[in-house]
Structure 1
Amino acid sequence: MADGCACDRHAQTYLSVEDALTRGLAAADPIMETEILPLGEATGRVLAENCISRVEMPAFDNSAMDGYAVRLSDLGDGPLFELSIAGRVAAGDSGAHTAPAGSALRILTGAPVPADFDAVLMQEDCEATPDRIRFTRRPKPGQHIRRAGEDLRAGTPILRRGCEIGPREAAALASAGYGQVTVYRKLKVTIFSTGSELKQPGEDLGPGQIYNSNRYMLRALLDKPWIQLTDAGPVDDDPVILEQVLSQACDSSDLIVTTGGVSVGDEDHMPRLFAKIGGETDVMKVAMKPGKPIMFGRRGDALYIGLPGNPVSAYVTWQIIGSQLMMRRAGLRRVPPAPQQAILAEPLQRRAGRQEYRPVQVDGIAPDGRPRLRLMAPSYSGRVALLAQADGLAVIPAETASLPEGHALDFLRF
């Protein structure tokens, strides 16, 4: 693509958040390479296979309680039942126990229930001596017995490809007999911040300089077990250096994320440079607040996301759009941010036109249980301290100019 073509094509195009996200997801092809890991080393990785249970879960009839296994055929009409204790079955035993007619077996939780026993009495329901039990309530067939396969039958699906392996998934895989699993390789991500004004925390600030908060925000957002992160650091607004760093990142990464340099100022070089190195830009401007200047596109196998330089804008555009593209690229099943319903604690007045994600604080709970939201400052794109004080983002539709106190709206809690 000729230098400048991509950015000129979309220079005056404003997409809705939904359309921008759809376009971005279409460009974010999932990686396909996989590796096999022992289950104990797969925590936090992205599952690359559909998994079925290899065994019955549970694998055998077992006792749900500490108590006594009985045969209903040994019980008379009551009202008092009395049986001798013929043995003891513990977890890990074979279950090949026999007992003469008219007797019970002491049984512990998780122990296999012998084939001809059809109920378990809780020990609390029995009067026991070392060799006999007495009880007055006749048990029901199958009482306190966990039947083989009642959780899952062998061959039943348990996990789908694309899930992140956490504690619950690891437990399910272990129970189903998986000693190793196939996962997607780690997503190779490179980040860097643009701007000659940036200094690192701990350094002295000179005139016109600011601390680089975006770098550390991105490092925290991308600190995931399924990511191999390369931090290319801050890069001055020098087109030659920026082009070199961007090109190298595209050659070695699945995903490149930058902050700054994507608007229309004299030092906003990224759209032009990305086109110059052969990148195809998919989005330039999105009708959202904050975050109107955002771009993403492809060069070869690399997906590029250019976030705004203002910290709040960078955070919001990443959470709403960027993170969704990253998850798809990594092979994760996409799970959009799930809003909850909340109500305004005060009236809202604003200029309509862009879908807004306003930082808010929770100011109590309404009688119906919904959180009440107090709007924070209307001008906030560079106020990272305000973002740290917020409880989440209120989602204000693009066409909305005013809302009364008590009006319902979506709330994305941090």
Structure 2
Amino acid sequence: MNVTVYLFGEFLGGYMQYPDDYTSKIFQNFQANAKMTTQIAIHRDGNLMYYGYIRKLEKDRYIGFCVVLNGLLLVRIDGLFTLFENIISNLVTKGRLIHFDEQGEIVTRVEKLYMNREEISLLAESLRGGFNRFENSVVSLPAISYGTVKDSVKNFVVEDDLNEIIKSTYTNGYTYIYKSKGFNTAQLNSYKGVLAKSYKEKEELTQKLTALQIEYAKTLRQKKQIKMVLFLFAILLGCVVFLFSMNESLNITRNNLSSANETIHTQQDSLTIKNIQISNLYLEKRRLEHNRRVEELKRRKAENDLDSLYGVCIEAENNFNSLRKMINECQPFIVKNISFNFDSEYLRLNYYGFTEEMVTIQVDVYSEYGNFCTKTTSLDVHYGDNIAVILLPERLDRSKRYFFALLKDNIFIGGGKH
């Protein structure tokens, strides 16, 4: 199934799309009608059907995908949300176009979309593969109803009747399907929960640390006041010595000295208590710093787990590409239909190609009496649905039936009767 894939959205550098063409007006119209965190937007423009999806991000930013079918209509769209939501989950896991912030919310880090072409190519292949799985749910697009306005709009929620929604997709210009909950995959919810919990614990520890720092500063100020009292006492003691040297009121001086000594002992006891409090606060501070380091290790472990999962995905993709390459070497294309023109002597092949290369094949022609003729030729194979013609070396009798066998490296890869 031939499809065209678009990526668009409002990123750090403003609105961007890839590929960039006339469709930007359609996609911005999708965003103008986006009312929920996630929604599917479907637009019919003549013989083209646009199947779009928008996921809102932080502030006024969003990311969207669109798959365009030519002359075809999806008659079952209940799997579209699942396809697009899995794409979002994979993008967050890789963390290149979109990712989780500290609070577990999906945000974007993209400033220039064209600088992420490799990631966009992988995304496009995933969407093409997803829509190819809908091939049994595709029919020819019905003719346009001229009683319907081209830009007419109809809104639905995901719980509405699917038949009504499908009818609207080809009878109205724009059809919107809104989904207000359950739009994250289980994996995405798990990661979000871990990050949100870590952020909350970090905030609580920060607040406790700030309170302890304030209390510590207050204690230091009190300690400085005690030093001032001692300084004043020293001055007082000097005055007492002076008075003693003058032989004035010796008894009164002794009483004052005794009182001053009691004050000193009281202040020293208070200072000892404050020092103990400061030591306890310092120990509490060290405990909180230790807890913060433990939480940081947990966060790094979660990030390493995400990187490991991404590596597994890349390895699976490489294995898939290797398997597909092995299949292409043995079976470069599948013959869908064979026909022969007795007048022109051309053999016509309708095939679906899996590669882009020149392939040498052997055509064996059999009649009811055995092998009639053989021709070896080079065929320029292209990816997807294609047609090729081969001129046979012998003229065939139209009154007889023939079987045409195609071989590559003496391996049968297709054939047909005529």
Report the TM-score when normalising by structure 1.
0.21
* Rg larger in structure: 2
Q: Which has the higher helix share?
A: 2
Q: TM-score, normalised by structure 2?
A: 0.20
